[in-house]
Structure 1
Amino acid sequence: MSASKSPTLSNHTQTVQGRNVNPSSEPCIEQTLREIGRSVGIDKDVFNRAVADQAILERLNKLTDQATDEFEVEGTPPFFVNGKKITGAPSLEEMRSAIAAALNGH
């Protein structure tokens, strides 16, 4: 992680489950993450322990920085087929075509 990036959730603006999230407003990102956690069944106490653990936060930020810097991920979910980034919102046919090309060595 570069010296200019601190280990907080406020490093990036991202799209999380179709919502634009500006982590510079940490209550906003935390509330969004809590909603997502609830929607997929993450226990509230488990979530609270995870967000209180600085080591977990630092690992999450390192992965976020890597996704942004190395893979140019700008939102979720990103799609990669055989290491090639699929941009935008690909149709099912576009995904099938990209996968078929990768399987055929193209």
Structure 2
Amino acid sequence: MKKFVRFIALSLAVIGFSTVAKADFEYKEAVMGDENAPVTIIEYASYTCSHCADFHNNVLPQIKKDYVDTGKVKVIFRDFPFERLGATAAVLSRCVDPMRYLGFNSLLMKQQQQWAYSKNPIDGLFKLAKLAGMSQEKIDSCLADEKLLDKIIAVRKAAMDEHGFDSTPSFLINGEKVVGAGEYERFKSIIESKLD
């Protein structure tokens, strides 16, 4: 794990972020829905994971409509990056204005094919961050924040150590482990069982 953190820090330094003034961005839990909802879904995902994008684009909207918007479910988003690009996207997502996090999260997943698999994915990622209201200065400062990256890596490590997760997306639904994106009906069945 330490090698992974050093690799990310070194990679960011190599692409030009080591000389930027550091700011302390706080890692805050990103939550969609009523804090008091009876069912909690915790999602562990990477912005470069195609199955995660599939979940966000095809399953989550229906969960939101049927359960989040009705106050029955809250969704907590946690980062689980596997490589430098995913870690960079995770760091940037935690630096956007908190009121814009859900929109930026959705944008990264919807546009994943366009930015993550382009010839210059960092450029594509920065363009999306700017659409979310981040200046280049804020982007650079955010990416220089080693504490934020350390927290993201710690969240990933905790998911591995405490829950045995080693792939994305992975979920905890009121404590029940669910691995893989799957279909809406699969999630509906589990949610309904938790509401009984």
TM-score, normalization by structure 1: 0.62
In structure 2, the partner of 1:51 is: 143
SS at match of 1:85: strand
CA distance in 1, matches of 2:167, 2:160: 6
Aligned with residue 188 of structure 2, among 71, 91, 96? 96
CA distance in 2, matches of 1:98, 1:82: 10
Unaligned stretches of 5+ in structure 1?
none
Q: Is the 1:15–1:75 contact (alpha carbons within 8 Å) kept by the matching residues of 2? A: yes
**Higher RCO, 1 vs 2 (CA within 8 Å, ≥6 residues apart):** 2
Alpha-carbon deviation of 1:94? 0.9
Q: Is the 1:81–1:99 contact (alpha carbons within 8 Å) kept by the matching residues of 2? A: yes
Alpha-carbon deviation of 1:91? 1.0
In structure 1, the partner of 2:167 is: 74
Distance 1:46 1:73, change over 3 A: farther
Which amino acid in the other structure matches residue 66 of structure 1? Answer: A
Q: Is the 1:79–1:86 contact (alpha carbons within 8 Å) kept by the matching residues of 2? A: yes
Which is richer in helix?
Answer: 2
In structure 1, the partner of 2:15 is: none
In structure 1, the partner of 2:125 is: 35
Q: Is the 1:15–1:74 contact (alpha carbons within 8 Å) kept by the matching residues of 2? A: no
Q: Is the 2:168–2:180 contact (alpha carbons within 8 Å) kept by the matching residues of 1? A: no
TM-score, normalization by structure 2: 0.38
Which amino acid in the other structure matches residue 167 of structure 2? Answer: E
Per-residue CA deviation, residues 77-102 of structure 1 (Å, 9 max, x unaligned), is: x3221111212222111111000111
RMSD across aligned positions (CA): 3.4
Q: Is the 2:173–2:191 contact (alpha carbons within 8 Å) kept by the matching residues of 1? A: yes
SS at match of 2:2: coil
Amino-acid identity (%): 18
CA distance in 2, matches of 1:35, 1:80: 28
